[in-house]
Amino acid sequence: MTSTILRIASRYLTPVFLFFSLLILYRGHNAPGGGFIGGLLAAAALILYAMACGVDAARAKLRIDPRILVAAGLLTALLSGALALFSGNSFLTGRWVMLHLPFLGELPLGTPLLFDLGVYLVVIGITLIMLFALMEED
């Protein structure tokens, strides 16, 4: 597609979509949202960019193969469940720590967020693999 308006809009909307996908990812382990919806929103941002500038440009902007995202996501989700085993609890038992940040105050981080991050990466990778393949078909 050679639409100048779409190309310019995608340059501005892609970072906004990615930012909101991270907000939905963080919010999701305590409220509606999470890794699946955040991952779909991040993939939609890159698909919009691919529609405007081409699949090769979107792959270059991503800078990593989507298959690696899937593998990293599966490993992250597995690790989040295995962390509880080291403390003598059952698999996927939640563990939390409070992170103290100077301007933000206390920020709770836990294994549910780590699991959501794994889901986030898997959803981005799988969605991009499928849609990039469909967009490359003639």
pTM of the entire predicted model: 0.89
Q: What confidence score (pLDDT) does residue 99 get?
A: 86
Q: What confidence score (pLDDT) does residue 27 get?
A: 85
Q: What confidence score (pLDDT) does residue 138 get?
A: 63
Q: What one-letter code names the amino acid at 73?
A: G
Q: Are 39 and 120 in contact (CB under 8 A)?
A: yes
Q: What confidence score (pLDDT) does residue 1 get?
A: 52
Closest CA to 38 of 57, 54, 58, 18: 18
State how far the Cα of 47 lies from the Cα of 52, in Å rounded to an integer.
9
Provide the token pair at 72. 């990293």
Phi and psi angles of residue 5, each rounded to the nearest 5 degrees, phi first: -65, -45
Q: Give me the number of domains the chain comprises.
A: 1
State how far the Cα of 30 lies from the Cα of 116, in Å rounded to an integer.
11
Q: Pairing between strand 105-110 and 96-101?
A: antiparallel
What are the residue ranges in the chain where pLDDT is below 50?
A: none
Closest CA to 55 of 130, 5, 4, 121: 130
Residue 83, helix vs strand vs coil? helix
State how far the Cα of 56 lies from the Cα of 65, in Å rounded to an integer.
12
Q: What confidence score (pLDDT) does residue 72 get?
A: 98
Segments in 4-110 forming alpha helices (H): 4-27, 35-53, 55-62, 66-86
Q: What confidence score (pLDDT) does residue 108 get?
A: 79
User: Residue 16's domain spans which residues?
Assistant: 4-136
Q: What confidence score (pLDDT) does residue 109 get?
A: 82
